[in-house]
Structure 1
């Protein structure tokens, strides 16, 4: 039985029609693709200007003549009641309604018309087939969070059962729990893992510490898909060695669906079928391929809610090898709010701290996870989970590295915890600044 199609059809999502549309879009020649995208961009703007009062007011409509004049939507612009943002042709019962994770600091509720949501799922189904994964038949080990309230928990587990997903609750990643995870793999024919990077990295460390290779215990395993959090090359090597299968990068967001997916040539192929992805500078100017800027996305088929030139909050660049039909995401640096501002005016990417501390932590071997929090312009706090506390020598190494790579006259405090706080969705944000931008 086609469980994937059945689960969507039961929820009134027209997956068959969406898959046929996807095939039709993919058949458009490269030379005609600019025309296809232009037609869809104009159509979705026209639709929301006609049917969405929120978007008419947001756009301050006085005629449309140039795509670059279309205003940029930020997450903060969408933090209004959903009923005020829905198109008049839809309501909360006739559209799919979801909520962002809030990892950017700006959570909001969004909506998609059912065809747009089905088209997103058709895209996932298409990409997974690149690796022999069939969403109708392949069993997934799902490393995600789960609602903890009774009805939300039951509803999510029912959806998992119908969708051939088996949930591994990442809110408890103790060794005892991971022992239980391991037993599930030995008893089940999982074909792939899918989940948050930090949780899968932690499970890979657990396997490595026991000199285990997961595929030897679960021979049906084909790939591991990581999503929602940054994957570093060392972590990728760790996962591949511990799992015994390739690690695939997936980039998506609940409000727009699949954004990019890694192919067998290790290229992040951008979804150009139902999304239009741009890289913009700070002033909203479209940047050429190869240059780094803000990732801005237009949902070409979402009629229920405008996602037009939507600044998703990430920084990245498209490869110079990109074409309109096949854009390639060359680099995904991180979120726009993942930066540290220092007393001397210096601005430092939050990832700098990751590299500084990761070397020390890997040398230790006892450290499982860590996060870095900027509490003041000159103070940072490192929370970590480990068997033993940092020694004075290890702390001094970290301080010396921070003085070298970040700045001088900074104070650092350390706190060893039993478990790190994750977002309600289960994500782990490895750098957070609590210092407000001036």
Structure 2
């Protein structure tokens, strides 16, 4: 029974039609595909300039024949009532409404028309099928947040039922909680794990302490797909060892679409069928492949709400082997608002700072999780969750490593905590700047 597809249809999402349209796009020759992209760019731009009062004002200086004249849109441009941003013919009652997580520091309510959302699901279903996952049949072990209010809680549980998934709490990452998680894996034929990176990493660490490989007790597992938080190589290696399955990196945004998905060869393939991904400099100009820049995205199918040259708030780069038909995301460095600014004026990605520290701080398995906060240009605090406090020697080693990669003279304080704060959605913000 195609329960998942049926649930999408009942909510007004024409998933069967969307799958067919996506398949037709994928069959296009390279030259036809280039024409398709040019047509979709022009179509969505023309639509919003004609039918969206918010975008008419925002894009008043656009020359429709020159894509470079299209201004970059940021989340702050969109922080106004949703009714003011909807195109003609759309209301909050006939669109898909949701709210961004706020991980960028700029949360807002967004809208997608139902056909656009159907195309999003067609894209997701297609990519998961690379690993023989069928949403109608494959049981999902889901490590996501869940609303704690009664209405929101039960709404998500109903969605979980129709989506053939079981949701594990990510607000309690204790060994006792993971013991219950383990029991569920023993009694359920899960085919894939999906969810936020950090709680799944913690589950892998628990399995390592117990000397358990997950496929030994749940042999039906095929793949683990992580999203929403950075996946580091050291964590990926750990998870693949303890789960006994491939770990796949997904990059997406709730207000847009699936942006990139790791294929079985290990390439982070960019979605070119339903969106346009551009990497641009501070002035909005395209940067060469291999060079870092702002990730800017255009949604081809969202006629309810404009997302045209929309700065998602991330810094990344495309591989030099990228083609127009198949761009490959080489790396995500971090968020634009998570940049380390040092006393010398030097700048570094916050997650680079986190990565340097991570390579030292978790060597002995004592530290379970940690976050880094920048208080001033030269003052940082590392808050960590551990069994025992870090020794003076360990702290010195961490400080020396940070100075080696960044610059000398930095103040690094440590604070052992009993719990690290997560967002309402359950995400762990690994680096944040108070500057």
Structure-1-length-normalised TM-score: 0.97
Secondary structure in 1 aligned to 2:64? coil
2:92 is matched with which residue? 92
Distance 1:355 1:136 in 2: 38
Residue 186 of structure 2 is aligned to residue 186 of structure 1: yes
Post-superposition shift, 1:178?
Answer: 0.8
The residue correspondences of 1:395-414 to structure 2 (distance < 5 A) are 395-414=395-414
1:307 is matched with which residue? 307
Structure 2: stretches of 5+ with no match in the other structure = none
Distance 2:307 2:179 in 1: 42
Distance 2:171 2:54 in 1: 37
The residue correspondences of 1:10-409 to structure 2 (distance < 5 A) are 10-61=10-61, 63-409=63-409
Post-superposition shift, 1:286?
Answer: 1.2
CA offset digits 1:286-342 (Å, max 9, x no partner): 123232211110000000000000011111112222222211112221111221112
Distance 1:65 1:295 in 2: 23
Contact 1:175–1:206 under 8 Å retained in 2: yes
Post-superposition shift, 1:370?
Answer: 0.2
Secondary structure in 1 aligned to 2:419? coil
Distance 2:95 2:254 in 1: 14
Post-superposition shift, 1:282?
Answer: 1.2
Secondary structure in 2 aligned to 1:364? coil
Distance 1:210 1:119 in 2: 42
Secondary structure in 2 aligned to 1:141? strand
Secondary structure in 2 aligned to 1:363? coil
Distance 1:253 1:353 in 2: 24
Deviates more, 1:329-338 or 1:383-392: 329-338
Contact 2:61–2:69 under 8 Å retained in 1: no
Secondary structure in 2 aligned to 1:327? coil
Post-superposition shift, 1:197?
Answer: 0.7
Post-superposition shift, 1:7?
Answer: 1.1
Post-superposition shift, 1:174?
Answer: 1.1
Contact 2:342–2:377 under 8 Å retained in 1: yes
Distance 1:390 1:71 in 2: 49
Post-superposition shift, 1:264?
Answer: 0.9
Give RMSD over aligned pairs: 1.1
Contact 1:352–1:406 under 8 Å retained in 2: no
Secondary structure in 1 aligned to 2:362? helix
Distance 2:104 2:116 in 1: 24
Distance 2:37 2:358 in 1: 42
CA offset digits 1:203-259 (Å, max 9, x no partner): 100001111000111011000001111111111000000100000010101011100
- The number of residues matched between the two structures is 435
Structure 1: stretches of 5+ with no match in the other structure = none
Post-superposition shift, 1:63?
Answer: 4.0
Structure-2-length-normalised TM-score: 0.98
Distance 2:191 2:418 in 1: 32
Structure 1 stretches of 4+ moved >3 Å: none
Distance 1:85 1:152 in 2: 25
